[in-house]
């Protein structure tokens, strides 16, 4: 007999007016951590991009509503997932993210006593097994919002854009981001994203300048490692600063290559 889901709608668990939407593809190793971190009583929706591993089985075992849609781009995928939500508030998380206990505990109060239409969350990177604190490893994505208050835009680095209303920042409650399984995973994504960005820039006629192509990668490393105190995160801090500067160089090198190819 299977154990009851931590997000089952048993009578003893009060329902929260919150839909949690997750897009996923082959996330069997990441998804359990994400689902375990959610508060009880939420509606969980997983939109899967035709996974070939146990992603959909795991989602179902946690009581999630599972749907499938071939992947087109991130904005379209997330907008499609939002359409399945039925509750007043929506929390959009990725399968490689984990709510801190503080964030999970704050959600019921936020959605019942909020003057805002949307909240930006304090998201921090976990890299090489370390919860990073410095080196531009934090951001503030808009993830908690009223259903129907906006939509995602952007094919690569998608962002939720609300149509109106107040947006607040929720501090002292972290959303942890396990973005890369290891360095192999980092560089696989590195290659895909730098190629996609270069192609996008080339289609818009953007040119790699001396500042962006030659000087900016060096500034990126110095900024992350020295000015943004990345050295305080030890070896992971050094590694992340270095490969982030390489990311900046490679996307413009690929743009340079793409423009040369167009001229031949």
pLDDT digits (tens, 9 = 90+) for 11-28: 467 899 999 999 999 999
Q: What is the pTM of this model?
A: 0.87
Q: What is the mean pLDDT of residues 42-59?
A: 98
Question: Over 90: is that where the pLDDT of 199 sits?
Answer: no
Per-residue tokens: 78: 């997330």
The model's pLDDT over 115-133, given as tens digits with 9 standing for 90+, comes to 889 999 999 999 999 999 9
- What does R_g of the chain's alpha carbons equal in angstroms? 20
Between CA 162 and CA 143 the distance in angstroms is 11
DSSP 205: T
Closest C-alpha among 93, 86, 83, 153 to residue 119:
93
Beta bridge mates, 43: 19
Q: What are the sequence ranges of the domains in the chain?
A: 18-177, 183-263
Q: Average pLDDT, whole number, for the chain?
A: 91
- Angstrom CA distances, 48 to 81, 108, 189, 198, 243, stand at 9, 27, 19, 27, 30
Class of domain 18-177: alpha beta
CA distance 215 to 200: 22
In the chain, the percentage of residues whose pLDDT exceeds 70 is 94
∠ CA 12-21-140, nearest 5°, is 110
């Amino acid at each position: 007999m299977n154990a009851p889901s931590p997000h089952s709608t048993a009578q003893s668990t009060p329902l929260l007016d919150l839909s949690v939407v997750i897009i996923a593809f082959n996330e069997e190793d990441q998804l359990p951590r994400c689902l375990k971190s959610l508060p009880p009583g939420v509606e969980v929706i997983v939109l899967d991009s035709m996974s070939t591993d146990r992603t959909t089985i795991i989602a179902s075992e946690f009581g999630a509503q599972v749907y499938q849609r071939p992947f087109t781009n991130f904005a379209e995928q997330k907008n499609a997932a939002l359409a399945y939500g039925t509750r007043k508030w929506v929390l959009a998380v990725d399968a490689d993210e984990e709510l801190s206990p503080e964030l999970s505990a704050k959600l019921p109060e936020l959605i019942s006593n909020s003057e805002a239409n949307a909240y930006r969350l304090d998201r921090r990177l976990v890299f090489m097994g370390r919860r990073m604190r410095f080196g531009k490893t934090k951001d503030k994505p808009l993830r908690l919002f009223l259903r129907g208050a906006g939509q995602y835009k952007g094919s690569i680095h998608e962002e939720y854009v609300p149509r109106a209303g107040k947006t607040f920042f929720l501090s002292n409650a972290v959303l942890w981001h396990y973005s890369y399984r290891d360095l192999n995973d980092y560089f696989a994504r590195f290659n895909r994203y730098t190629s996609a960005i270069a192609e996008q820039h080339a289609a818009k006629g953007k040119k790699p300048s001396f500042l962006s192509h030659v000087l900016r990668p060096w500034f990126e490393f110095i900024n992350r490692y020295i000015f943004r105190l990345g050295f305080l995160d030890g070896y992971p801090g050094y590694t992340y600063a270095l490969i982030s500067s390489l990311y900046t160089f490679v996307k413009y090198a690929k743009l340079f290559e793409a423009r040369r190819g167009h001229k031949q």
